[in-house]
Each structure stands twice: as C-alpha cells, then as structure tokens.
Structure 1
Amino acid sequence: MMKPAYKTLNRTLASGIFAVLASTAANATTGYFMHGYGVKAQGNAGTSIANFNDALSMASNPAGLSWAGQRIDVGATLFAPDRSAEITGSPLANGEYSGNGRKYFVLPEIAYSHQVNHQVALGFAIYGNGGMNTSYKQNPYEKFGNAGTAGVNLAQVFFSPSVAWKYSETQSLGIAANILYQQFEGKGIQGFAMLSQDGGNLSNNGKDSSTGIGFRAGWSGKFLDEKLTLGAKYSSKIRADKFDQYRGLFAENGGFDVPESYGIGAALQVTPAFAVAADVERINYADVASVGNDLDLSQPLGSAQGSGFGWQDINIYKLGLTYQAAPKLTLRAGYSHNDQPIKKDQTFLNILAPGVVQDHLSAGATWQLDEHQDVSIAYTYALEKEVKGENSIPAILGGGEANLKMSQNILGLAYSYKF
C-alpha cells in the first residue's frame, strides 16, 4: 500500500524541484560547481566518490548505486554568499561595491534508487550542478559607460538517470546521463556594446536558456573485508546549446558548455564507530572558451576567440570524518581546499562572477527516526578569500585594479526513506 504513495510523492517532488531549480541560481564553492551532492556528503566536505551515504551519491559516482539500496532522498540547501568588489588606481571608477543585491538562495535536490536484483541497480536524480549570482545595486562599471544594476544570474540543473552493475561481490561499474538545463541573465554592461560583435545581444536581454547532454561513469570496489572502499569517476564535457540572447557576450557566439571533471576517492572504516574519507577531483574550466579565455579586448566579445572570464583548471582536495556517536546519531565533519580559478590579471570581468573561495569547513549530523527514516543537517563555511588584481583593468579602459572578495554560509537539510 505504501509503494504507490511514494511513487506519487516522487513525481510530485520532481516536478516541484524542476520548477524551483529552473528559476534559482546557486552560488557554488569550487568555482561554480557544488562542493557536495547530498546533505550527508556536504557534512563530510563533499567526499562522495567512495563515501556512499545515500542515493545522491550517483551525482558524483554512479557506481555508488550498488551500495545505496532502495531509498528516496530529498534535501534543500540554503546559500548565503557575501560577494564584493573594489576598484583602485582607476581614473574613472575607484570605490567599493557590494554584489549582495540578493542574499539567500535555496537549492533543492532529490534522488531515488531501486535495486532491480543482486547485480543491477537503477536510479534517478535531479540536482543543481552549480551556478553564480551577483547583483550590484551600485554598478561597478557605471563610470565605463554603463547604467542600472549590474550582475549575472546563472543556474545549472542536471536530470540524471543512472544504472550500476555489481559485476562481483565487491566491485561495481556505473553510468549516468547528464541531461543539462541552464539559464542565464546578465545586466548592467550594455555600455561595452562597442567592444562586442553583437552589442544588441550583450546585456539586459532577460533570461535565456539552453540544454545539453553528456555522461558520467564511475567504478567502486570494496577491499580489506569491506573496510576500505575505493572509487573513481569521470564526467564528460557537455556541449550545450548557445545562449542566443547573449551571443554578444560569451565566446563562440553565446557558447557556455559544462567542463569535464574527474576524480578518485577512498573511504576507510577505521573502527566500527569511526570512518575517514578523502577525494581528489579536477575540473577543466579552461577548456570552455567562454569561461577559460582571457580578457582580450583586441577580439570582439562573443567572437570565436572573444574574451572569457579567464578561469583556469582547478584541483580539489577533500577530507571527511564520520563518527557513530550513538545508535541513532551520526556526526560528520570535513575540510576541503581547491586551487584558485581566477588569475590576478583576470579580475575585472570577474566582478560579475567572483568565485574566489578556496577553503571550506563542514559539520553535519544524521538522526535515525526509525528503521526506515532519518533526517540530516549540514553546515559549511566557505572562508573569506580576496584576490587582488594585478594589471587587471585594460589600458583602453584607463587601467587600475579590480579586487574580488567572497565568503559563504551554507546550510543543508535532508530527509531519507529506505524501503
């Protein structure tokens, strides 16, 4: 009698999450990717390549489905970013600018896993991959010929059907489709139209959307009497449709692809009550022209070789600790660090996207309500980071430096039901 009700719940929640995600921008913390998928993973600083806590582990490593069992996981994460910019040494626009026109963002997620038989597991997840938002009531580019509020709003959502094959008692392979839906809106830079190949599609054109599809593959194995779990994952680059309304801003006529990423992980059950997990990941931002191209005003904005945000590839290092404090209470903690994606000479355009945070401290807990249900909470603080510009404002715009600063508070809540 319970199963039809939960199928209805699953469909209803999925529809609701799509509606919310499609209109919400997240402020992710490893560049513009999420630092962890699932609230339990967030409490462990995002370790999830070999640390399988719930069905949302398929968002990192689909091989984890083989160990998830039959369950549904629903969560929501509240982001409270603090982002700002400062311009110094400019003959036009010196000053401090707050990008906090909008202070809070809610990012929901849902995942369902189904054990078909001893070897095969199926799953489906809807979650935010990441994004970026800034909203400057005082336009930092006003003295460069721009008017009105300035900022960007980027949201990326994945719909991810997955399958895992447990080809031995201790090892599994998994694969998932990455079906992308993304939205973008940019404001307050229309005064740079003379620098663009298409000034009418540079700024202030409302929300535009695009789609694309890629894949994620993963492996997982258990060793040392299943005390040690190892994992590896790879996510392909997604070549998304163009943002036509912003083909005068993004390189390659409005292109904005999702970069490839990959990583390895390990989780060790040190004692029956204590476990440690670690991940190393890489995101190849520089392979996406609109993200990785350096600011170069000798090339028109939006052209094949047009300026991007100058982001470089980053490595991410994560460490998570889990302690079974009581039969019904699990405690988590973690720390992660990522390379700096934004170079010091690329800060000017990144006033719109100051994703500079590098260090994250996490804590979390799960309380088991009964044999089927549990609730979880996680808190992450992304430590304040400032990147000071060096030769960052082009001479054609008068020179000077743009300095970026960001920190974040992240709170996640989740509910799980095991069938």
Structure 2
Amino acid sequence: MNLRKAIMATSLAALGWPLAASATNGYFAHGYGVRSIGVAGVSIALPQDGLAAATNPAGTLSVGNRLDLGVHLFRPDRGAAIRGNAYGADGDFSGNQTHNFLIPELGYARQASPDLAWGVAVYGNGGMNTDYDRNPFAAFGSRGKAGIDLQQLFVTPSVAFRPAVGHSVGAALTFAYQRFAATGLSAFEGMTANPGSVSDRGHDSSTGLGVKLGWLGQVLPDLRLGASWSSRIEMSEFDRYKGLFEGGGGFDIPASYGLGLAWQASPALTLAADWQRIEYSSVKSVGNPIQRLFAGGALGSDGGAGFGWNDVSVVKLGAVYAYDDRLTLRAGASRVQQPVPASQTFFNILAPGVVRNHYSLGGSFKVASGGEWSLAYMYAPKVTVSGSGSIPGSFGGGEATLHMREQMLSVGYSWAL
C-alpha cells in the first residue's frame, strides 16, 4: 500500500465525514487506535500500534514496522432540560437530530535502525456536536434549530530514539485542523462585542501547530513506565464566529500531560494504567464562566464569557491477555472528573460533555495472510448534571440540566511491514 496515498485518503475522510459528537473525556478522545480503545484509552506506557505517537511519541520505537487503519462508529445520546424559567423555556430537549458519527484513523511506524524509528499518526481528536430540532433558546428569541458542530483532525509525524538500553524518548509535531459551526443562537446577538458573528454563519476552519514529547522506560524486568506531554496548540481564529468565542474567535486546543505504567503480570497478561491531565480552563473561550457575560464580559471580547469548563484528571486501567499466538483479548475502564460545573449548565446545553465512567472490551485476531483484525467496544453510562444557579435572572431564572451517554464500536486492520 502506498503510504502517502493512505495518509491522504484517511485525512480527506476525516475532513469529509461527520466526526465525533463528544469523545468522552470532555471533548478529548477516549483513546487513539482500536487497541487502545479496547483498554479504555491506556497507552502512555503501553504502545500497541502505529498510533502510539498520538499519546506518547516515544512509543514509536516499540511497535516495529507496521501500518494500522481503523474506523470508529460513535453514537452519543445527549440532551437537556429546563425547569422553573419565567420566560416559558421549560421543557425537555433532545440534541440527537444527528445520531451516528464516523471517525477514521491511520498509524504508520518504521524503524530506521534498532535505536531509531519514525512514524505518522492521523486521527480525530474528538470534537463536540449537538443538534436540537426543538431550540432550547427559542423562548429567549432564538430561531430555527440549535446546536454546534466542532470537528478536530490531528496529523502527528513523530521520531523516537534509544539513548540507553531499555529507554526511549520521542518528539512529534502536531498539525491541527478544526471546523466549527453554530446555529440557533440569535438570542445572544445583543450580548456580543462582534454582532453578526455569533450564529448561523456556516462552517469556519482554523489551523495550528503543537509539540508532543514522551519517554518510555523499562525500569524493572516486568515493569515499564512512561510520561508524555502535549503542548497547547494556538489555533487561528474562527473569523465567522468572532462574536461567540473569547478574543474575537479564539479556540485553542489545551495542553495535556500524563504518566503511565505497564506491568507484565505473567507471560500472557499485561496490566496497565494511565493518569492524564487536560487543562481546559487555560483556554479562555472554554474555561471562562458564562457569568462574565452579565458583568460586562461580552461574548467575543477579550476576557469575555465562555463555557466555564474545569481542568480534569483521567484515570485509566486496562488489561491485555494473549490467549494464544493468534488471539489477544483486552478490557479496560476509566474515570474522568466532571468538566462542567453545576453553575455552567445553561450555556453547556450546546456542549454537554458530562460523561465520566467508560468501559471497554476488545480483541485482535491474526489471519493467515499475516494481517490482523482488531475490534473494540466502548460504553459510557448516562450522566446527568443538574444546574445550580445556572440560568441568570435576565433570562428568567430556573435551572438547566444536562445529560449524556455514549457508545462506540471500533474496527481496524493492521499490516506488519
């Protein structure tokens, strides 16, 4: 298979298909690669395929020469309810006008020597989508359907080398491309620093570059540790939505970092764990609270209102069991802190990324031709966040409640090169 054509085809598919509505850990992906999905996203000290660099570029040296293609069918269930509103906004609202989302991915790794490897990963970093046929903001003057569509694509070339026996370090550049559209938000047009750039402007796009660094070390014969860091990616502005996002359309991708371990409990069984931190609040359009809107911080202004998200920590646990030479089984669970505070539920009707627990099963099966099929299934149970002081008096008061649950089915095929 021609690698350049495969990368181009996967990138175009990622841009052309509707991407994930929400990717479980806020709007970051649950994991990268079908094998990683099978262990709840564990990957910092457990590289399993050519997408290892999406989390830890040091893992590029550990996966051999390979090409991995995959696709995820993601099905979220999201919605909201409003109660006690003096303007007549009360009701239950489903954001599921669009149900299913496809997320393609590609990973490639090549060893240049026993101590040096390079690769490239193409993947969706998640995103956020809500699609309300019945507009939750209609009572406040909004028209038509309501919702947002945020899509993010990463292309990450990486290099890793071995400075000492049992240790590898890696670095990667990440090109990020994102698209965004918002509809049905005309009720907020009178509260922006840039009128006419809040809603119903079609899709806009932005780009940016970031850096990833990582380390992987065999510290004991049966214990491997890892660490990774991804820089904040400063994206170009969404000019069509400079009246919605803080700083005239800014929507950067926050920094993240983490630690991982993998323990070879037996010749057939590997147990692994990750801890990850995502700095959502450092991006003002994401982290600034909506209350700034009613204290002079207009939408789109410097320091203006945002979605009020908190930073989160994620703990992931996974197990990989080699049943025999052809069949490998996987299972995992993870838990993330709640990014959406109870006081911020009103504006987050548009972005109810509130699920917390995630459970995964998966497996890989080698075929006679030498390739390998992989499958994974992820389920995130329903979480409800009830508002507390969430709807301001100028909007008639009351409370907004958010809910979300998620399922994802993943399938991939790998070639050893």
- Asked whether the two chains share a fold, i.e. TM above 0.5, the reply is yes
Report the alpha carbon displacement of residue 166 of structure 1 after superposing the two structures with TM. 1.0
Report the alpha carbon displacement of residue 12 of structure 1 after superposing the two structures with TM. 2.5
CA distance in 2, matches of 1:170, 1:232: 15
- The answer for the alignment partner of 1:3 in structure 2 is none
Report the alpha carbon displacement of residue 11 of structure 1 after superposing the two structures with TM. 2.4
CA distance in 2, matches of 1:108, 1:87: 36
Report the alpha carbon displacement of residue 20 of structure 1 after superposing the two structures with TM. 2.3
Q: Of residues 257, 262, 280 in structure 2, which corresponds to 1:262?
A: 257
| 1:253 and 2:251 aligned | no
Q: Of residues 96, 99, 116 in structure 2, which corresponds to 1:120?
A: 116
Q: Of residues 189, 200, 203 in structure 2, which corresponds to 1:204?
A: 200
Q: Of residues 382, 390, 405 in structure 2, which corresponds to 1:407?
A: 405
CA distance in 2, matches of 1:59, 1:52: 10
CA distance in 2, matches of 1:247, 1:25: 23
Q: Give a deviation string over 1:249-273, Cα, whole Å, max 9, x none.
A: 0001100000000000000110011
1:402 partner letter: A
Q: Give a deviation string over 1:376-401, Cα, whole Å, max 9, x none.
A: 00000011100000000111111110
CA distance in 1, matches of 2:107, 2:322: 24
Q: Which residues in structure 2 correspond to 1:40-79 (within 5 Å)? A: 40-79=35-74
CA distance in 1, matches of 2:254, 2:47: 24
| 1:313 and 2:311 aligned | yes
| 1:284 and 2:279 aligned | yes
Q: Which residues in structure 2 correspond to 1:376-387 (within 5 Å)? A: 376-387=374-385
Report the alpha carbon displacement of residue 18 of structure 1 after superposing the two structures with TM. 1.7
Aligned partner of residue 163 in structure 2, secondary structure: coil
CA distance in 1, matches of 2:37, 2:4: 25
Aligned partner of residue 134 in structure 1, secondary structure: strand
CA distance in 1, matches of 2:262, 2:92: 44
CA distance in 1, matches of 2:10, 2:193: 37
Aligned partner of residue 46 in structure 1, secondary structure: coil
Aligned partner of residue 36 in structure 1, secondary structure: coil
Report the alpha carbon displacement of residue 169 of structure 1 after superposing the two structures with TM. 2.2
Asked if 2 retains the 8 angstrom alpha-carbon contact of 1:21 and 1:155, the reply is: no
CA distance in 2, matches of 1:235, 1:176: 9
Aligned partner of residue 362 in structure 1, secondary structure: strand
Q: Give a deviation string over 1:109-161, Cα, whole Å, max 9, x none.
A: 00111100111101011101110000000000000100100000001111111
- The answer for the alignment partner of 2:98 in structure 1 is 102
Q: Of residues 322, 325, 328 in structure 1, which corresponds to 2:323?
A: 325
Equivalent pairs counted in the alignment come to 411
Q: Give a deviation string over 1:312-369, Cα, whole Å, max 9, x none.
A: 0000000001111222111100000000000000000100000000000100010011
CA distance in 2, matches of 1:409, 1:25: 14
RMSD value, Cα: 0.9
Point out the more displaced range, 325-334 or 370-379: 370-379
1:111 partner letter: G
CA distance in 2, matches of 1:338, 1:16: 33
2:239 partner letter: D
| 1:154 and 2:150 aligned | yes
Q: Give a deviation string over 1:43-92, Cα, whole Å, max 9, x none.
A: 00100000111111110000001111110000001100000100001012
Q: Which residues in structure 2 correspond to 1:354-393 (within 5 Å)? A: 354-370=352-368, 372-393=370-391
1:325 partner letter: Y
- The answer for the alignment partner of 2:173 in structure 1 is 177
Report the alpha carbon displacement of residue 372 of structure 1 after superposing the two structures with TM. 3.3
Q: Which residues in structure 2 correspond to 1:20-31 (within 5 Å)? A: 20-23=13-16, 24-26=18-20, 27-31=22-26
Report the alpha carbon displacement of residue 244 of structure 1 after superposing the two structures with TM. 0.3
CA distance in 2, matches of 1:403, 1:167: 52
TM-score under structure 2 normalisation?
Answer: 0.97
Aligned partner of residue 121 in structure 2, secondary structure: strand
Report the alpha carbon displacement of residue 371 of structure 1 after superposing the two structures with TM. 7.4
Asked if 2 retains the 8 angstrom alpha-carbon contact of 1:190 and 1:199, the reply is: no
1:56 partner letter: L
Identity of aligned residues (%): 46
Which runs of at least 4 in structure 1 moved beyond 2 Å after TM superposition?
10-13
Q: Give a deviation string over 1:234-290, Cα, whole Å, max 9, x none.
A: 000011000000000000110000000000000011001111000000000000000
CA distance in 1, matches of 2:251, 2:70: 28
Unaligned runs of 5+ in 1: 1-5
Point out the more displaced range, 14-23 or 41-50: 14-23
Asked if 2 retains the 8 angstrom alpha-carbon contact of 1:57 and 1:65, the reply is: yes
- The answer for the alignment partner of 1:237 in structure 2 is 232
Q: Give a deviation string over 1:297-316, Cα, whole Å, max 9, x none.
A: 23211001111000000000
Unaligned runs of 5+ in 2: none
CA distance in 2, matches of 1:313, 1:383: 21
- The answer for the alignment partner of 2:302 in structure 1 is 304
- The answer for the alignment partner of 1:343 in structure 2 is 341
- The answer for the alignment partner of 2:130 in structure 1 is 134
Q: Of residues 82, 87, 91 in structure 1, which corresponds to 2:82?
A: 87
2:392 partner letter: P
